[in-house]
Structure 1
Amino acid sequence: MFPRPIEQVSGPARFSYKLALPVALVIWLLPLLGVALTSLRPAADLAAGNYFGLPSAIAFSNYADVFNNSPIGQYIFNSFKVTIPTVIGTVAIATMTGFALGIYKFRGNLLIFFMFVAGNFVPFQILMVPVRDLTVNMGLYNTSLGLVLFHIAFQSGFCTLFMRNFIRSLPSELIEAARVDGVAEWRIFWYIVLPLMRPAIAALSVLVFTFIWNDYFWATVLTTSATTQPVTAGLYSLNGQWIASWHLVSAGSIVAAMPPVLMFFLMQKHFIAGLTLGAVK
């Protein structure tokens, strides 16, 4: 049913695997390498049509120009203003709803759980007009708060699914023993379940941080000004009206990609533990 480990297949198959893996890796990395090269390419190269060749010179000044000639610092700050509250709010809601749906047996449990899950199957493009009208009517259009509230609402379904399944894999004997000792339900959640959820919380935080930081669609739909636009939407402003400054856009893209990459490497141990805990049960 499952693929055999590569060590157990025939010699030609192992050789083909070792040959195809670096080729596939290079193909997968080509767009990123192209962006990195373009970020170091002088504007004269692009004007001369040198899009894919080696740069005539290494222009590290592109990174300085991005910060000196554009409000990218404000855009990055706006992204943190949206992403960090969204991660905190989403994870907090998901831990509580996951605990309620994973531990308690009550009528409508599966129905509520399916409602959370069903939201993940709604194409987000069809929500563009009603969500925009809702934020306008509530006075939240073109505000960081409106973007945060929408992301929390939209990400809660997946996060609840993640947390509920994780909590159901925890030993139920721990909770039953605490109840026998007369421990209150909120203390069971805070002192017993929540510490065991740390790997899942770390993994979910990295995923949600990456999702929200890289969001472009809602950043352009719900924000319009440099004071509120996240970096994904703000990078477009680096292009002039008549000339596309792709070297600056590429440099800005590399800078914008650093926070989620750094967060992943800082929390890599907890991230992998959260995704694999209980996988062999």
Structure 2
Amino acid sequence: MTVIATSDETRAVDPPARRPRQRAPHAGVLSHVFIIVMAVLWVIPLLFTLYVSLRPESDTNAHGYFSLAHSFTFSNFSDAWTQGQLFHYFINSVKITVPAVVLTLFFASMVAFVVSRFSTTFNLVMLLLFTAGNLLPQQVLLAPLFKIYTNVLLPYSVAGSGELYDSTIGVVAINVAFQTGFCVFVLSNFMRTLPYELTEAAMVDGASIWTQYWRITMPLCRPALAALATLLTTWIYNDFFWALTLMSTGDKRPITSALQNLQGQFQTNQNLLSAAAFIVAVPTLAVYVALQKQFVAGLTLGSTKG
């Protein structure tokens, strides 16, 4: 409220009310139509794959994949589970995905904490270095990495060979190396939105750097960590390039190799392969459902700041 003094009297004048922002006509309808169309385009291939997986091979061979089904069966799922040895390869994927996700988030969060909470000369250089690592295609580094892997010896190995090549540790290491840069970029930007007063109060109370990082900053980063964990699980779990390149033993490869094993040299049972693809996708869907609230919060938090 503003007070205006005049020669006759003093009167109060309210400030003019802000006019609400005008939205373009039908903007809400167009956005909803766009979202629905994109959702349908994403769902149609999934529904068609499910439709094929529920049909017997004899039915699709006689009438085609785009015809109306004459019968349905769940035998493709059981056959894919046994013939593809999905449980064995699923354990291999767990051995690769879980350590890779945990180590990536741990290392990236420590780097992001230093870059975002402390002012040093090398902060910008470190951030640019980690971000620039994501600009190089992984295939470009295939030749030097393969040479390194065939010459590096480990103090121990699951296979007992002692080599980094053809080991689970090697695939975990390469995933951590390639995913850390992206996670540092995301977490550093997220940590910059946290109030600096929390760190200053902790320093006044005598908290160590580790306490500021582990007990104060990390609990506040749960939405961002959940979002990154969901993305990393999907990327690493579905990766087949590095497992195929850096592993020569087929039994050590992740579950994506099981899909390749179901493909014949001259003929492939697409019904069986579709059922296996759905089984393979279940763990990533379970992770997304479990972390859905944190995932959405991690993506939207900070969107209204500024």
**Residue of 203, 226, 242 corresponding to 1:202:** 226
Query: What pairs up with 1:44-123 in 2 under 5 angstroms?
Result: 44-48=58-62, 50-123=64-137
Maintained 8 Å contact 1:178/1:188: yes
Deviation sequence 1:36-65 (CA, Å, 0-9, x none): 111112111343361222332112000010
**Residue of 220, 226, 230 corresponding to 2:244:** 220
Maintained 8 Å contact 2:84/2:258: no
Maintained 8 Å contact 2:112/2:184: yes
Deviation sequence 1:52-105 (CA, Å, 0-9, x none): 223321120000101222211111111111110011000000111110111111
Note closer, same or farther for the CA distance 1:46–1:162 as it changes in structure 2 (3 Å cut).
same
Q: Which has the higher helix share?
A: 1
Q: Distance in 2 between matches of 1:181 and 1:14?
A: 50
1:222 to partner: Cα distance: 2.0
**Higher RCO, Cα 8 Å, sep 6+:** 1
Maintained 8 Å contact 1:226/1:234: no
Q: Distance in 2 between matches of 1:229 and 1:167?
A: 36
Maintained 8 Å contact 1:66/1:252: yes
Q: Distance in 1 between matches of 2:302 and 2:57?
A: 52
**Residue of 171, 174, 195 corresponding to 1:147:** 171
Are 1:33 and 2:72 an aligned pair? no
1:10 to partner: Cα distance: 3.0
Q: Spell out structure 1 runs of 4+ moving beyond 6 A.
A: none
Q: Distance in 2 between matches of 1:268 and 1:21?
A: 19
Aligned to 1:125: 139
Q: Distance in 2 between matches of 1:275 and 1:242?
A: 45
Aligned to 1:4: none
The range that moved more, 116-125 or 138-147, is 138-147
Query: What is the number of residues matched between the two proteins?
Result: 274
Q: Distance in 2 between matches of 1:27 and 1:121?
A: 29
Please provide the CA RMSD for this pair.
1.9
Structure number with greater Rg is: 2
**Residue of 175, 179, 184 corresponding to 2:199:** 175
- Unaligned stretches of 5+ in structure 2? 1-21, 153-162
1:8 to partner: Cα distance: 4.1
TM-score (norm 2): 0.83
